[in-house]
Structure 1
Amino acid sequence: MRKAQAASRGVSDEDHDAAVVQLRALLRRYEHYCMQTDSSPCILLKNDILLKIDQKHLLKKITLSFPDDKPSDAVLPSLQPLLMALRDERYIHVEELNIWSLPLKHKDVVELCLMLERGGRTVYPIRSLEILDCKLDDWCLERFGKAVNSSYITTLCLDYTCMSKEGLIGLLSRGFGSCQVHSLSLCYCGLGLWSGTLLASLLTKSSVRELYINGNELQCVGATELLRPVAENCQKMAETPKKTTSITDEAELINQLSNTKSSMQRKSAHKGKKTKKKRGKTKSRPEAKEGPWLKKLHMFDNSIDNQVPNQLKRLMELICILVKFSSDLIELDLGENHIGEDSGKKLLEALKDRKAAKLSPIKIQVSTRMSTETFSAILKSSKELKSGKKKRQKKRVTIEFQMIKH
C-alpha cells in the first residue's frame, strides 16, 4: 500500500532512501568543517536536516542564523563550513537560502557568489536568497549584484543592510537589467531621497515587479521619483486600447473570418480519417509588457507626510493613477505614512473609480491619522493587507538588545 501511494506521487522508496543518505552525508561533512574552521554548528540548520531525515525528504530550504541566546564570547556559526559541505557533497537541491544576522567577510561573499553563478562546474539552482542584517559593505553589494545577473535567483531580500548611495548603485548597476529577479526587498536599509531615482531606473530596466522598501526615508520627494515612470506608463497603457480599438476592429474581424474558414476546411479534410493521438499542447509565452509596472509595492514607514503640501499632493496624484488604472497592482502598503484626510479622500475616490472600471480589488494599508469615516471607507473599498516585514523589525531590535545586554 505504501509503495502504491509513493508511486502515485511519483516518489519511490529508493528516492526516499537516497535523500536520507545525502542528508546524513551533508550533516557529517558540515560538522566536520565546523570543527576544522573552529566555528559553531548552527543549531537551527542541524534540526532542519534531522527533521528532513526523519521525514525522508530532501532539504530545500536552508537557514543559517546567529544564536540569540548565546553569550557574546561564544563561538559563532560561519558560512564557510556550509558552503564547503554543499560543494563537497554536490548537494544541488537547495532552492531557498537564508542567512540571518551573521557578519559576512569578503571571502564568504566571494564563495557564495561563485556558488550562485551558473558558470561553475556544478549548478546550484537557488531561487530565493535572503541576507538579513549581515553587515555588507559597498564592495559586497556590488559583488552580489554581479552574481545575481548570472544566477537563478527570482527573490532577493537584503533587509537591514545599511546602504550608501554608492552601495545601492553597485548592487543595481551590475546585473539587474538582464536578470530574472521579480521580487526585491530593501527594508530598513537607510535609503533616503536619493534612492527614488535609482529605484525608478531599476523598475524601468529590470523584471522587478514586487518592491518592498519599508522603514526607509524616501519621503514624498523620493517616493515621487520612484513612482513617476510607473504611473506614467500605467496611464499610457490604459489609454492606448481606447485609441486603437476603432482602427483595429476591421482587421480583427477579417482575421476571425479567415480563421473560421480555415478551421472548417481542416475539419472537412480530416473527415472520415482516423484521429491521431493528441500531443501535449505547447502554450506560447505571454508577451512581456512594455515599460515599468508593479504588482506589489510596500512603502510602510517612509516619512511620507504633509509638511510640504505640494510634494504630498504630487505623490498622491501618482498613487491614485496606479490605483485607478493598474490592473496588475494587487498590494499597496502606505502604513505609518501620515497622508492625512485630504489625501485619504483622494485615495478613496481612486478606489471607487477602480471598482467602477471592474478591476480586481487591491490590498491596502494606510495610517489611521485621518477621520474614522474616511479610514473605514478605504478599508471597505479594498482588502486587508498584513505585512510580514514589521515582525522582522522587532526581531532585529531583540537581537541588538540581547547583544548590548551581554
Structure 2
Amino acid sequence: MSSQKNKSTKKPIPKEVTELEAFLHAYEKLCTNTKTQVNPWIKDNAKLYIDRCEILTKIILDFSNVKSSPPVLFTVIIAALRQTRYKYIKHIYVWNYPMSYENIVVLANYMENPSYNTHTLHLMDCMLTPFYIERLSREIPSNKCLSEICLDYNDIGDLGCEYLAQSLQKNVAIKCLRLNFCGLSSKSGKFLHEIIVNSTISDLYVGGNDLQCSGILEMLQSCADQAVLETKQGETAESTKEDKKKTNNKKDKGKKSRKRNKSPLEPIIRVGPWIEKLDITDNGVDIHSLEGTAATLNCVRMITTLIMNSVCLKELDLTGNEIGNLASLMLLQAMEARITKSFPPMKLKSTAIIQMPGIYEPLVKISSGKGPKKKRKKIKKKK
C-alpha cells in the first residue's frame, strides 16, 4: 500500500523539462559527432534546471572561460535547438566569440522562424563587421518579439549603424539598443537620429564612440524639439482646464451639488521621438577638442533643454566628457528647473572635473534619481 501511495504522490514531469532533456542529449551527441567541446554553461545549467523541473529560457556563451581545443561551435548549439524544437530560449548571450558569416546566417535563419521567440540578443565582442550587420538586420523588421539588441565592442562603424537604422524603421518591438565602443563617428549622428525618430527605441547606449558635439546635436535635436512642444501643449491644456473649472463653478453657484460619475481617464499616447535612458559617455564632447568650447556649450545647451522639458527622461550619462565649469553650471540649473516643474526624478552622471565651487556637490545631490523624501507623520502616543 505504501509503495502505491508513493507512486501516486509523484508529480508528473512537465513537457518542457522532457524537451530540455532531449535538447541536452541531442547537443552532446552532435558534439561527439563533430568532435567539438560541449559548452560547460549549457551542460551545467541544463542539468540543474532538469533537477528543479524548471524551464531553461536563456543561453550564455562566454567563450573567454572555455578551452580553445577542442572548439565550441555556435552552429552546433543552434542545430540542437532546431533538431529538438526546443522553443523556450528567449535570451541569447554570446560574449568573446569570433563569429563567422556562417554563424550569422544560421542565427538569422533561427530568428526568422516564428516558433523561436528571441527577446534578447547580445553579441558582445564577436568581431562583427558591417557586412555581418547587413545580413543580421534583414530579420529585424519582421521580428515582433525582439526587444533588446547589444552589439558592444564590435567595430561595425558608420556603415553598420546605417544598416541598423534602415532595418529598425519597420520594427515596433525593440526598446533597447546598445552600441558601446562600436567605432561610430559624427556621421552616425544622422543614422542614430533616424533610429530614435522612426523606431520604438527608448533606451540608447552609445558610449565609447567618437560622435563628438556635431553627432550628438544631430542625434538629439528632434528629441529636444518634441520635448519642448509637449511641455507647451501640457501648459495650454492645464490653462484650459483651469478656465473650465472657473466657468463651471460660476454656473453651479446656488445649485445643489450632485454626485457625478467620473469618466475614466484616457490613456496618454506619446507622439514623436522620445527617450528614457541615454548613455553618451566618452564621446569627445570636450572643451579641448577640435570642435572647441562653443560647440561643447551648444551641445550641452540642447541637452539641458531635453532635461528641462522631457517628462519621460529617466537616466542620462555624460561621464568621460570634459564639458567644463560653465556647461556643468548649465546642467545644475536645468536639473533645478526640472524640480520646480515637478517632473519625475532623473538620474544624471557627469564629469567629476569641476573646478568652480558650489557646482559639483549640489549637482551630485540633485542628480541621484531619487525623489524628495516624504515626511513621516508622527503618531501621538496615548497617555
TM-score over 0.5 (shorter chain)? yes
Matched, 1:146 2:127: no
Matches within 5 A, 1:100-111: 100-111=95-106
**2:185 maps to amino acid:** G
User: Displacement, 1:163?
Assistant: 1.3
Normalising by structure 1, we get a TM-score of: 0.79
In structure 1, the partner of 2:158 is 165
Aligned residue for 1:373, secondary structure, equals: coil
- The separation in 2 between residues aligned to 1:43 and 1:198, in whole angstroms, is 39
Normalising by structure 2, we get a TM-score of: 0.83
Aligned residue for 1:97, secondary structure, equals: strand
Task: Describe the superposition over 1:219-262 as per-residue Cα deviations: whole angstroms up to 9, x where unpaired.
Answer: 111111111111111111111222355557778999xx9xx999
- The separation in 2 between residues aligned to 1:29 and 1:261, in whole angstroms, is 68
Matched, 1:293 2:274: yes
Q: Which moved more, 1:239-248 or 1:137-146?
A: 239-248
Task: Describe the superposition over 1:9-36 as per-residue Cα deviations: whole angstroms up to 9, x where unpaired.
Answer: xxx943x543432222111111112223
Q: Which moved more, 1:140-149 or 1:345-354?
A: 140-149
**2:65 maps to amino acid:** D
Task: Describe the superposition over 1:335-371 as per-residue Cα deviations: whole angstroms up to 9, x where unpaired.
Answer: 1111111111110000100111111111111111103
- The separation in 2 between residues aligned to 1:34 and 1:176, in whole angstroms, is 39
- The separation in 1 between residues aligned to 2:117 and 2:19, in whole angstroms, is 17
- The separation in 1 between residues aligned to 2:207 and 2:35, in whole angstroms, is 37
Aligned residues of 1:146 and 1:175 also touching (Cα < 8 A): no
Larger Rg computed on CA atoms = 2
**Structure 1, gaps ≥5 residues long:** 1-11, 265-282, 386-406
In structure 1, the partner of 2:128 is 136
User: Displacement, 1:377?
Assistant: 0.9
Matched, 1:126 2:118: yes
Assess, with a 3 A threshold, how the Cα gap between structure 1 residues 284 and 377 changes in structure 2: closer, same or farther. Answer: closer
Aligned residue for 2:296, secondary structure, equals: helix
Aligned residue for 1:335, secondary structure, equals: coil
Matched, 1:95 2:79: no
In structure 2, the partner of 1:306 is 287
Matched, 1:65 2:46: no
Matches within 5 A, 1:1-400: 13-14=11-12, 16-68=13-65, 70=67, 74-117=69-112, 120=113, 123-151=115-143, 152-246=145-239, 286=267, 288-307=269-288, 308-371=292-355, 373-383=358-368
Aligned residue for 2:92, secondary structure, equals: strand
**1:334 maps to amino acid:** L
In structure 2, the partner of 1:9 is none
- The separation in 2 between residues aligned to 1:287 and 1:145, in whole angstroms, is 31
- The separation in 1 between residues aligned to 2:199 and 2:268, in whole angstroms, is 15
Assess, with a 3 A threshold, how the Cα gap between structure 1 residues 285 and 163 changes in structure 2: closer, same or farther. Answer: farther
**1:75 maps to amino acid:** P
Percent of aligned pairs sharing the same letter: 27
Aligned residues of 1:334 and 1:367 also touching (Cα < 8 A): yes
Aligned residue for 1:149, secondary structure, equals: coil
When the two structures are aligned, how many residues end up with a matched partner?
A: 346
Assess, with a 3 A threshold, how the Cα gap between structure 1 residues 105 and 200 changes in structure 2: closer, same or farther. Answer: same
Aligned residue for 1:156, secondary structure, equals: strand
In structure 1, the partner of 2:378 is none
Aligned residue for 2:140, secondary structure, equals: helix
Aligned residues of 1:149 and 1:174 also touching (Cα < 8 A): yes
Aligned residues of 1:235 and 1:321 also touching (Cα < 8 A): yes
Q: Which moved more, 1:287-296 or 1:79-88?
A: 287-296
**1:344 maps to amino acid:** S
Aligned residues of 1:148 and 1:179 also touching (Cα < 8 A): no
User: Displacement, 1:49?
Assistant: 1.2
User: Displacement, 1:383?
Assistant: 1.1
- The separation in 1 between residues aligned to 2:106 and 2:158, in whole angstroms, is 25
- The separation in 2 between residues aligned to 1:109 and 1:349, in whole angstroms, is 47
Assess, with a 3 A threshold, how the Cα gap between structure 1 residues 244 and 17 changes in structure 2: closer, same or farther. Answer: closer
- RMSD of the TM alignment (CA)? 2.6
User: Displacement, 1:286?
Assistant: 4.1
Task: Describe the superposition over 1:141-165 as per-residue Cα deviations: whole angstroms up to 9, x where unpaired.
Answer: 0122221212210011111110122
Assess, with a 3 A threshold, how the Cα gap between structure 1 residues 123 and 286 changes in structure 2: closer, same or farther. Answer: farther
**Structure 2, gaps ≥5 residues long:** 1-9, 253-257, 371-383
More helix by share: 1
**1:35 maps to amino acid:** T
**2:367 maps to amino acid:** S
Aligned residues of 1:149 and 1:178 also touching (Cα < 8 A): yes
**2:221 maps to amino acid:** R
In structure 2, the partner of 1:389 is none
Assess, with a 3 A threshold, how the Cα gap between structure 1 residues 106 and 69 changes in structure 2: closer, same or farther. Answer: closer
- The separation in 1 between residues aligned to 2:125 and 2:316, in whole angstroms, is 25
